[in-house]
Amino acid sequence: MSTAEETADGEAQPWAEVTPEAARRLLVAAVEAFAERGYHATTTRDIAGRAGMSPAALYIHYKTKEELLHRISRIGHERALGILRTAARREGGATERLADAVSSFVRWHAGGRTTARVVQYELDSLGPEARAEIVALRRQCDAEVRGIIEDGVAAGEFEVLDVRGTTLAVLSLCIDVARWFSTAGPWTPDEVGALYADLVLRMVGARTPPAARE
């Protein structure tokens, strides 16, 4: 499956927001190259070659290799934040919202694993300014999950002694799916999402299993 065809939450991820078409092709090629070779081992020639373009053509759309990584990271983190924010603000109790957040977040990392690996694991390859922007988005992701857990504790749905530490554990568990998930494995993204939602609810001591858990 190519990066352009990867799915998350059952929807195609063709990077449609990236225009013109040549810029999109270069970005898709960069995702594939960064995921396969790592950011530092990838050259602009590698990226251009995968896109079927000349190295000179790359600089028409992106000034540097880091600009490509920055755009991939920003779009990816904005999508991740949107997934978590939607779940956090849906109707229902904290148990239902946390199950929704985890299952959706995991499906995104499994269905779009190539993109997710670059988004989540190449942060330190960015320069200080770009990195600061992405870190701010990551903190917002953290805040959405932490807010759900805090709501659950306040409502008596969860038993959590360290909300901040538990939030870190939950997000780390979800993100790691991008590292190991394979379409050749025994699970679909939906199945892994359901499994992880159940595991996280057990982690926080949820007292009322939601319908999503079934």
* Predicted confidence (pLDDT) per residue in 96-130, tens digit: 999 999 999 999 999 999 999 999 999 999 999 99
pTM: 0.87
Band the pLDDT of 207: cuts 50, 70, 90. Answer: confident
Cα angle at 122 between 120 and 123, to 5 degrees?
A: 80
Q: Among residues 156, 173, 157, which one has the least CA distance to residue 165?
A: 173
All residues at 6 or more sequence positions from 164 whose CB lies less than 8 Å from its CB, including other chains: 146
195: Cα within 13 Å, side-chain hemisphere: 12
Amino acid of residue 111: G
In 2-54, alpha helices (H): 21-37, 44-50
> How are beta strands 7-8 and 11-12 bridged, if at all?
antiparallel
* Predicted confidence (pLDDT) per residue in 3-47, tens digit: 555 554 434 456 888 999 999 999 999 999 999 999 999 999 999
